[in-house]
Amino acid sequence: MRTTRYVPLFLLSAAILAGCKSHPLADYRPLDKAGMWSSSMEDLKKLNVSDVEIGQLVALKNAGVSDDMCLSLVQVAHGHQHPFASAASAASLNRAGFSDEQILDIARNDQLDTLSGDAVMLRLIRLSDPTVQLILERRMKKLTTLSSAQIGRLKNTGLSEKEIVSRIQSGMTDAQADAEAAAREHARAHSGTGFVRVHGRRR
C-alpha cells in the first residue's frame, strides 16, 4: 500500500521540477528588436531558452553575431547541461577576428569564459593565425602552454615567433619563460656598457 501512495507523489515532484526548467512565457520581443529572424526565434523556443539567455543573445546580436551562431552557442551550452551565459566572451572573440568555427570549438570544450581573454591578447601580440590556433588547441587539451603575457614578454626580448613556438611545443612553463625573459632583459640592458678604449691620433 505504501508503494502505491508514493508513486503519485514522485510523479508530481518530477512534474514540478520539469516545470521549473521550462520557460514557456519567455519574452522574445527583445530579440525581434535586435534583428533576429522569426524562424530563428522559433528554433530558440524549441531550445526552451530563458529570459536571461535571451538577454545574452540580444548582446550577441548587437555585436553583429549571426542567428545561426547564436543558435549554435545555445545548443552547445545546453549540451554541457547549463544555460548560455558567455555572450561577452563570444562577442570579444568575434571582435578580435576569430571565426565562428574557432569560437564554437572553444565553446564545445566549455571554455569560452576561460580562454577568451587570453585568446584576444594573442591577437594583440600579433601572432600569426597558425600560432594562435596551436596555442588555443594546447590550452583546450590542458597541455602546458605559455600565457599570453609571457609570450608577449619573450617576443619583446627579441625572440622570433618560431623560437617562441619551439619553446611552447617543448612544454616550457611560465616560470621558465619568466626566468629566460629576465635573463634576456638583463643582457640587453647591459649590452654595450663595457669599457671601450678610444684610440686617438697623437699630435
Query: Is-contact 72 60, C-beta < 8 A?
Result: no
One-letter amino acid identity for 174?
Answer: D
Distance of CA 53 to the CA centre of its chain: 18
Those residues with Cβ within 8 angstroms of residue 89's Cβ, 6 or more apart along the chain or in another chain: 112, 113, 116, 117
Number of other CB atoms surrounding residue 43 within 10 Å? 18
pLDDT at 14 exceeding the cut of 80: no
Q: Are 134 and 165 in contact (CB under 8 A)?
A: yes
For residue 158, how many other CB atoms are within 10 A of its CB? 11
- DSSP annotation of 197 reads P
Residues 117-159 have pLDDT tens digits of 999 999 999 999 999 999 999 999 999 999 999 999 999 999 9
The percent of residues above 70 in pLDDT, for the chain, comes to 82
Spans of all domains in the chain: 24-105, 125-187
Give the number of other CB atoms < 10 A from CB of residue 37.
12
The pLDDT of residue 103 is above 70? yes
For the segment 154-201, what is each residue's pLDDT rounded down to a tens digit? Answer: 999 999 999 999 999 999 999 999 999 999 999 988 876 554 454 555
pLDDT at 200: 52
What is the average per-residue pLDDT within 90-118? 97
pLDDT of 53 above 60: yes
- pLDDT bucket at 99, cuts 50 / 70 / 90: very high
State residue 193's pLDDT score: 55
For residue 21, what pLDDT is reported? 58
pLDDT value, residue 199: 52
User: Is the per-residue pLDDT at 6 higher than 90?
Assistant: no
Residue range 98-109: mean pLDDT, rounded: 97
- DSSP character at residue 141: T
Residue 134 in grid coordinates = 596551436
In whole angstroms, give the CA distance from residue 152 to residue 187: 18
Query: Residue 68: is its pLDDT beyond 90?
Result: yes
Give the model's pLDDT for residue 161.
97
Q: In terms of DSSP H, where are the helices of 96-173?
A: 100-108, 112-124, 129-140, 148-156, 161-169
Residues 6+ apart with CB under 8 A from 36: 57, 61, 67, 70
Residue type for position 187: A
Average pLDDT of the residues in 33-50: 96
Q: What is the mean pLDDT of the chain?
A: 87
Handedness of CA 88, 91, 95, 101 (dihedral sign): positive
